Amino acid sequence: MRIIRTRDYNHMSEHAAAVIAAQLTLQPNSTLGLATGSTPLGAYVRLVEMCAAGKISFAQVQSYNLDEYRGLTHDDPQSYHHFMWENLFSRVDIDVTRTHVPDGSNEDAASTCANYDAAIEAAGGIDLQLLGIGNNGHIGFNEPGDEFVVGTHCVDLTESTIKANSRLFESIDEVPRQAYTLGIGAIMHARRILVIASGTAKADAVHAMCYGPVTPACPASVLQLHPDCIVIADAAALSAC
């Protein structure tokens, strides 16, 4: 695990975008694993700018998102599909037919998850997986628990995750209580992993991820075992390290 300390959120975003841009330059047909939430927004802004300037291209890229709320359709403004369309897919030269987000509208969890795993396997796996980290150490929606779940699965969101995500909804009551998420196995099979973190609220989780025991009580700690994992975090997120 390689840790890169940055000054602040903007500096972190610049470094993260540079890593993704380098991936696309070296391997234009990369399969990217993408994340949502406030943390990657700055990196996406910079990637959009680089694409508009002709410095990078997404034309040969295919992507698989980490997760999606169960019960939300793709066109729901709170869905992660909509988030990706608004913040990246509609602003770069990616073929939208080659972008993939778990189908939150499919109530059949078993088929939704199995199909998503099969699609990633058929694509040859993920070349670069972008991750954020939750305040409780979750990656994707893999919440703290008694075991690492390997495949894509439906998860009951913890109260801390629901509270953290409620800032994006009009009220906490509107936050879905379940989500489909890529499993730890698929994440760990990515050839390279990029974790980004910002702010003091993430400091304890980042410390546990980098220096704590490998335990499903902090799902991100498993990343210590990955052969090519880069952590880019600002000084606040690394303040406990």
Query: Which token pair is 89?
Result: 């897919």
Backbone angles phi, psi at 32, to 5 degrees: -100, 140
**Cross-sheet strand order for the sheet of 67-69:** 67-69, 178-181, 153-156
Query: Which amino acid does the sequence have at 104?
Result: G
Find the catalytic residue in 65, 136, 142, 165: 136
Backbone angles phi, psi at 44, to 5 degrees: -65, -40
Beta bridge partners of 179: 69, 155
- In angstroms, the CA 101 to CA 121 distance is 15
DSSP letter (8 states) at residue 232: E
DSSP sequence for 126-190: -SEEEE---TTS-BTTB-S-SS---S-EEEEPPHHHHHHHGGGSSSGGGS-SEEEE--HHHHHTS
Residue 67 is a catalytic residue: yes
DSSP H/E element including 219: none
Find the catalytic residue in 15, 65, 67, 103: 67
Residue 136 is a catalytic residue: yes
Phi-psi region of 194 (alpha: psi -120 to 50; beta: other; left: phi over 0): beta
Find the catalytic residue in 15, 81, 100, 138: 138
Residue 115 is a catalytic residue: no
If we measure between CA atoms, which residue out of 126, 193, 122, 116 comes closest to residue 153?
A: 116
Find the catalytic residue in 68, 117, 127, 143: 143
Catalytic residues: 67, 136, 138, 143
